Amino acid sequence: MFSKDLMEIRFHGRGGQGAVLSATLAAEVAFRMGYYPQAFPFFGAERRGAPVIAFLRYSSFPLMPRCRIYEPHCVVVFDPELPREALWEGLKREGGIMLVNADKNHPYWSQGINGGKLYTVDASRIAAGAGLISSGMPLVSSVMLGALVKVLGLAPFHVLEECFQGKIPKLQENVLVAAQGYQDVKEVEIEDEDANAGQ
């Protein structure tokens, strides 16, 4: 029997955006907060820009499933231009959380989540503003990780900052953008689709 506090998170991004690194660092944050974590990637075509999925589980009890996550409590979207059906697939309808790299004008703002919550942070803008760009692609992993730690209430920011030490290049820039993601992530007020259908 698995622990009731089991948290399952699925990350969607593209090769080079750092989704796998974010899952790994989030697992370390969870470990430092006393949880048992596991993080692992799922690759399709292993090339830059190809869709990438990573998974994270953590729990206060060591016994956990050892398989891909099909019904996540939380989905983290690094690239909102990925096929939408795959992003929303399996997200828990009651209490599910969607965290999206998007500004307030992105169409994700009009997408309802019945019984769940939607959060956004403009990670591409924040990363680009700090010069964290590779091959024309903003490196959004630190921003999204900062936002995720805040949304989940997983840890104080200093714990995440400690996990960065010795694991990422451009340490100062990445810590700064992670802090901005932690600070700037916002919950989006979403409309109740069922209520609208009755109008």
Is residue 149 in a domain? yes
- What percent of the chain shows pLDDT beyond 90? 61
The closest alpha carbon to 23, from 50, 51, 66, 58, belongs to 58
| CA angle, 119 then 121 then 125, to 5° | 160
Whether 48 shows a pLDDT value over 80: the answer reads no
Is residue 198 in a domain? no
* CATH number of the domain residue 175 falls in: 3.40.920.10
Interval 61-79: pLDDT, tens: 998 988 999 999 999 999 9
Q: What separation in angstroms does the CA of 171 have from each of 121, 132, 164?
A: 21, 11, 7
* DSSP string over 62-84: S----S--SS-SEEEES-TTS-H
Count of domains forming the chain: 1
Q: What are phi and psi of 150, to 5 degrees?
A: -70, -50
Is residue 167 in a domain? yes
Interval 101-112: pLDDT, tens: 998 767 665 555
Q: Which residue segment(s) compose the domain that 166 sits in?
A: 7-188
Q: Which pLDDT does position 121 carry in this prediction?
A: 96
pLDDT, averaged across the chain: 88
Is residue 195 in a domain? no
Is residue 2 in a domain? no
Q: Which pLDDT does position 114 carry in this prediction?
A: 67
Is residue 135 in a domain? yes
Interval 85-125: pLDDT, tens: 788 888 887 889 999 999 876 766 555 566 788 999 999 99
Q: Which pLDDT does position 46 carry in this prediction?
A: 58
Residue identified by tokens 């430092």 is 32
Interval 168-194: pLDDT, tens: 989 999 999 999 999 999 998 876 655
Is residue 199 in a domain? no
Name residue 7's beta-bridge partners.
58
Is residue 148 in a domain? yes
Separation of alpha carbons 75 and 67, rounded Å? 16
